[in-house]
Amino acid sequence: MMTRIASVALLLALSAGAHAQQPQGPLRLTAPAEVEDAKALNAGIDGISGKVTACVERGGEPDGCMCREAAAIAALKRGYEAALAKHPAWRGRILHFSNAENTRSWNINMPGLERAFPDCR
């Protein structure tokens, strides 16, 4: 079973606004194909984060709430691995991307996400 620290770490890592300082700085994505791939990954993060947060707000234990979403987390992990296979430069980086109108932007903390996948056995 996952520890409370691990579940809190996952919630933080899955947050679309997760920030961390890196010597290289964020990797700004501008190519449309890269932005679309990052948006797809971010949608998975948002979906899981919203479900787990709602469960905890209803009084659920963080560990249980995380593990109830095991199938969604497994799908996100597959998407994460596929994104890294397609974009190896994303490994260990914070991704920054904007919508086409440049009116909204997002960050994905790839190192935090990599460390945050729970083991719900």
- pLDDT tier, 65 (very low <50, low <70, confident <90, very high otherwise): very high
CA torsion angle 78 83 84 87 (round to 10): 170
Residue 90 per-residue DSSP state: G
- Verdict on whether the full-model pTM lies above 0.85: no
CA torsion angle 21 22 23 28 (round to 10): -110
Summarised one tens digit per residue, pLDDT across range 21-54 is 445 789 999 999 999 999 999 999 999 999 999 9
Per the document, the length of the chain is 121
